[in-house]
Structure formats: C-alpha cells, structure tokens
Structure 1
Amino acid sequence: MNFPKLFEMQSFLDQNIRLTQGIPVDKDLTEDKKDALDVEISELQNEIKYFKFWKRPETRKVNREAALEEYVDGLHFFLSLGNDYQVPLECGYREILVKDDLQGQFRIIKHYISIMNGPMHWHIAFGLYLGLAEMLGFSDEEIERKYLEKNTINHQRQAEGY
C-alpha cells in the first residue's frame, strides 16, 4: 500500500469534512475518531459473523466485498488518527501482529484503540489491524482500491450535505 498517498488523501478528506461541517480547526476530534473506529471495527465483526454461535454455520456466510468495505471504513479512521498523532508518512508499517484467532485479534485491536493516546499505541493497533487484513485474506491492492473508491464516496457525501 502506498501509505504516504493514503495519509495525504485522508488529511484532505478530514480538512474537507471540517470545512463542510463547520468544525473549528482547533477542535480536538481524537476521542470521536477513536469511538468511530471502534464502531467500524464492530461493524466488521458483525459482517464476518465469527461470534454468532447461535446461527447455523451455513447461515454465517461472509459477504467478502461488504467485509472489505467495513475494513476500509476502519482504515479511514486509522489514517485520520495517524495524522492527528503525526505518525511519519514514510514509515513502512509492515510489523503485522497476528493473534491465534479472529476473536483474539479483534479484542486486542479494540484494547489498543481504547488506550490509544499517541503514536506508540497507534502503531501497535495499526499493525494488528494489518494483521487482521492478512487473516481475512485481503490483499494490499484490494484494500487500497477499496479505500480510493470509498474516499471518493466520502467526498461526494460531503458535497451533497451528508
């Protein structure tokens, strides 16, 4: 993934949202973004359905494209928080940490998001999030493609008064 490009695109989207929504530049949105990221990760969990023990396995079919879109929605907030924490754009971000199972991976990601207060926790959480993509079989190319699509949609939504 071309992280410098994605960080810059996210910065432009965030500036557009602030301008469109009338949010002052000095208003700190970090906690709101962390909450939004947590919700997006929960939506991804709901799409993957791994925890729905009450449903028969054949009814837990995953819509891969919908799961990828939820993953990318979370990526938007990770990038936004990375910009807020002034994470260097040129970092490789290839330290992918993977737990033994999806439930463990989701839980540790959410843990680090809940305690995130700077670049160190962001790096750990983001590495885990990249590991989650690997566990789900999402390639860098398809993540970046979906991010570009969704970023365009997000700009359109702002232009249309979302």
Structure 2
Amino acid sequence: MNLQKMFEMQKALDERIIKEKGLEGQDLLPNLILALQVELAECANEWRGFKHWSNNQQPCTEVTILCTSCNGTGDENEEANLEMLMEGKEGIGYSPCDDCKGTGKLGTKNPLLEEYVDCLHFILSIGNRLGWNDTDTIDDVVVQHLISEKGFDTAKTFSCLLSIAYGFHFSNVEKRTYISLFTTFFELGNKLGFKWEQIEAAYMDKNAVNHQRQQEGY
C-alpha cells in the first residue's frame, strides 16, 4: 500500500476544502476526530456483527446500484409512462434504458468497504494535521503489528479505535498514539477481510468522488 501517496492525496483534498470553504486558520482537529468516530460507528453498523438482537448479523458487502435514469425499471420511458397513466392516458410503451441497457442496474457496491475507507480519509487528515505522516515508520510498525495481530475480536477492535480517537482531543497526545490508531485500524481491515490492494483502490475512488463533490458545491 502506498501510504505516502495517500497522505499526499488527502492533503491536497483537505487544502482544497479549507480554501474553498474559507476555513484558513481554524482549528479543525476536533471536527476530524469526531468525523472519524462517526465513520467508525457507521462502519460497525455495516459490519453488523455486534447486533446480537438481530437475525441478520452478516456484513453488508454487496448492494445493487439502481439506475437513476430509469429508477431501476430498465425503461427509459418510465417517468413519461407513469405521468400519462396518472392522467388516464395510454403510455408510450417500453424502451430499454441506454444507461443500464434495460437491466435497471448499474452494478454493485460494498458499503462496508466504503465506510472503512471513509475512516481512512479522516485518519490520514489527522496525521497530516499533526505532522505525523512519516510513512516509513508507519509502514514498518503496521507490518510488524499485523504479523503479531492482537487477540481482540472485531467488536473490541472497533471499541478500541473509538477510544484511541477520543484521546486525540488532549494536548499531550503523542505520535505513538497515532501509530497505534493506524495499526489497530489496519488490524480491523484484516479482520473484515480486506486486502491492502482493495483498500488502496477504494480510497482512490472515494478521493475522486470527494473532489467531484467539491466541484459540485457539496
């Protein structure tokens, strides 16, 4: 995994947001910490393994993306037909949607991986914000840590990450705490079944989406 490249990409995105939103000179670290905690909770929600009260405790790893052009019907005339039927008129008939080739679907997505990568965005932002983006050190520690992975189960790993993130609110936090955050986060990814290549590719995709959102006035 090319952590240096991701740190640089995240820095470019954050600098763009700060400039375009007029946030220069503001202390954004508390926002980043809370955002990370929120995304960790959302990731846990997609994992579902802690929900002992539910019959569905399987991770949400595949969701169909419906075509927005035809509202998932596969018919490019869907809206026009509906309007005409509501007016008591005969519809103009079915025509396969060009965008989805009449299937009503555009593919699938992995919500669990998406939420995991959202967490990574804020972890990288925190590292850049504090100047703790020494990728050589982080790479070495992460690899060694994963070789001797802790015995925590997945639920405790989520809780551990939330606790570590909270610690960044205090002024005496040390760099080793950030490295612990990183190593525990990748340990979580390992437990969720993600490969480093998957994580990197998903990060690149979401980073591009985030730039597009800024372009569209998100």
Name the Cα RMSD after superposition. 1.3
1:156 to 212, 215, 218: 212
Shift, 1:81, TM fit:
0.5
How far apart in 1 are the matches of 2:59 and 2:154? 14
Q: Give the helix-richer structure, 1 or 2.
A: 1
1:79 has 2:124 as partner? yes
Larger radius of gyration: 2
1:104 has 2:156 as partner? yes
Q: How many pairs were matched up?
A: 159
Please give the TM-score of this superposition, normalised by the length of structure 1.
0.93
Shift, 1:60, TM fit:
2.7
Greater relative contact order (Cα 8 A, min sep 6): structure 1 or 2?
1
How far apart in 2 are the matches of 1:83 and 1:9? 11
1:89 has 2:145 as partner? no
Q: Deviations over 1:83-113 (max 9, x none)?
A: 1121213331323453421111111111111
Partner of 1:51: 50
Q: Give the strand-richer structure, 1 or 2.
A: 2
Q: Which runs of 5+ in 1 are unaligned?
A: none
Q: Which runs of 5+ in 2 are unaligned?
A: 62-109
Q: Deviations over 1:16-66 (max 9, x none)?
A: 111121111x2121111000000000000000111111111xx23322211
Q: Check conservation: 2:49, 2:58, Cα contact below 8 A.
A: no
Identity, % of aligned positions: 36
* Matched residue type, 1:3: L
Shift, 1:118, TM fit:
3.9
1:63 has 2:119 as partner? no
